[in-house]
Every structure is written in C-alpha cells, then in structure tokens.
Amino acid sequence: MDSEYSDSYDMYWGTLGTVRPYSNFYPDRDVTEIVTALENKDTVTLLRILTNRNNAQRQVIAQVFQELTHKDIITALKKALSGDLELLLLELLMPPVEYEAYRLQEAMAGLGTDEETLAEILSTRSGKQLQSISAAYKEMYKKDLEKEIESETSNDFEKLLKALLHKGCVAGVVQTDIETLSASLKGKKAEAGQWIDILTSRDVEHIDNVLMGLELELGQTVDQIIEKRFSGDFRLGLKVLVQCIQNRDAYLATRLKTMKKEIVQRIMVSHSEEDLLCIRAAFIKLTGTSLYTALQVCHTDKIVLNINIYYIVNISIYLFQIFA
C-alpha cells in the first residue's frame, strides 16, 4: 500500500462506518484494470474495484484516470453502463459534500418535492456540514440553496428548513424552553415559531432534555403532541427533526425499512463511511431482522422485474458489510 494512504487507513478502523480504505491500494493498477473493463464492458471488474475502495480512494482513482487517459471517468462510465448500476457507481464517485448537495437537488427536481428527504438531510447534518453543502450546491448548480428551498416549499415548513440550514448553538435554560414550548400549545392554533426557534438553535443534548421535560409535563409523547397540534409539511418536518434529535440512527433505520430503492441506496451511500454500523443495529432493533436479510428478500422479490437490482442488492450487502 502506498505510504501516503497508510495513516488514514489505520485511523478509519475506529469509525462507525462500514466502508474502510482498501489496504492494498495502488491507483495506477486500478485505473489500468478499469480502462480494460470499460473497453470490454466488464461490469464485474468495475464493481469489484469501485465498491472496494472508500470515497477518498475513488477520488484518487478519478484523478489518476484523467492523468493517464486524458478522459473523465464519469463520462467513460456513462458510455459503458446504463440504468440503476450506472447511477449507483456515479453516486459512489461523488465526494461526500457534493453527494449531499446532489441529494438535495434531486429532492427538489422535477414535478413535486420530496419534503422528507429535504428534512432528513438538513436534520442529520451539522451546521458546519450544511455550510459546506450549501457552497457545493452553489458551485454545482449555480443556484443558491436557500433560495431554492424558498421556491420549493412554503409557510412554516419553509421557515423550518431555512432555520435548519443556518442552525446554531445558542445557550438556553431547559426549564424556560419547556415552558415556552408548553405555552405555544395553549392557544387554539399552536405557534410554530417557538418550536422552530428552540429546536434549531440549541445543542442536541439540551433539546433532548427539553423534549423529555415537555413529555412529562403534558403526559404525551412529543410525536403525539406534534401529530395533534400541527399539520401538513410542517408536521412532517418537525417529526423528522424530533426523531433525529432523539435517535438519528432509529429514524434512518425507519427510512431504510421502506425498502424503496432510491431511499435505501442514497442513505447507505451517504452514511457508509460514517455511521452505518449504528444504523444497521437500529434496523435490527426496529424490525427484528437484519438489513442483510431484508435486502435479500427485496432482491428475491424484484430480480425478475429488473436485473440491475441484482447488482444494487449485492453491492449493498457486500460493499456496506451488512451481514449482521
């Protein structure tokens, strides 16, 4: 293994991700094999290489491919592949920050908006990460992310997403925040502004204590409170945010449980090097079955309809190491 990668490789084994740097990484050799595989449309080799390298190593491969062939690896893959397999490999080649920007764009593209995906990304990423994602979005799409959110959403849901985009960490007093949220529910119509302000401007531990205190005071779960007092997209967004505050891994496991191809694929790509081990454990607790088994069942049900599902499921199982 090249010495410049050895330090980062050793460090990765302390993470909660399932994708780790490939120990015997030689990018020149990988590129040579990829070039041959592209000429022969050898998808097995392409999958073997690109799904057994972490994202940083894939970026090196893309750079070396450009240097050795004077071609762009993305363009080459698009020419050689198609369908779901092409899309997955292109997503794996995106740098993490660009990938999150891409997911946000996809959630707002075309007819209709995927409100839950917007809420998911903005609720699970830190303020610092969102600054980087916003900058990447502007670079990639020549548009301002906040303005795009304004054009695609409205009312209190829009305010919530914009507040999450600029989330901070302002000091607060737990009991005071409990009283503020409780008071916001006393009128005929609950006041969304207080919830947006508190839940997007405090640290997670503080908010968790506030929500637990609110539940004790009102004798209801926060989920029940939100369900009864709010409506529409804002209710959805608030529920997502609260679930991410209380247990982010459990929320993402719930999303994976849908077994919807795009949701499963994009969450696993997004979290594979960060915390997929935790999400995997949460999935077992939630469903009583492993993510591995659930994906096998999904594969069995759908293979007749779409042969590319075979590749996606097996990549999901073996690349993301979700055997338990």
End-to-end CA separation in angstroms for the chain? 29
Classify domain 174-246 at the CATH superfamily level: Annexin (1.10.220.10)
**Helix, strand, or coil here: 111?**
coil
CA-CA distance, 150 to 103, in Å (whole number)? 17
Which DSSP letter does residue 201 get?
Answer: T
- Report domain 249-314's class: mainly alpha
Q: Where in the chain do CATH 1.10.220.10 domains reside?
A: 27-93, 96-166, 174-246, 249-314
Model confidence pLDDT, tens digit, residues 244-264? 999 999 999 999 999 888 999
CA-CA distance, 45 to 49, in Å (whole number)? 6
Its pTM stands at 0.88
Q: Is the pLDDT reported for residue 93 higher than 50?
A: yes
CATH topology of domain 96-166: Annexin V; domain 1 (1.10.220)
For residue 3, what pLDDT band results from cuts at 50, 70 and 90? very low
Which uninterrupted H or E stretch holds 132?
helix 127-141
CATH topology of domain 27-93: Annexin V; domain 1 (1.10.220)
Model confidence pLDDT, tens digit, residues 49-61? 998 899 999 999 9
Which residue, chain included where needed, has tokens 């993470």? 15
Burial of 117 (0-12, 13-18, 19+ CB in 10 A): buried
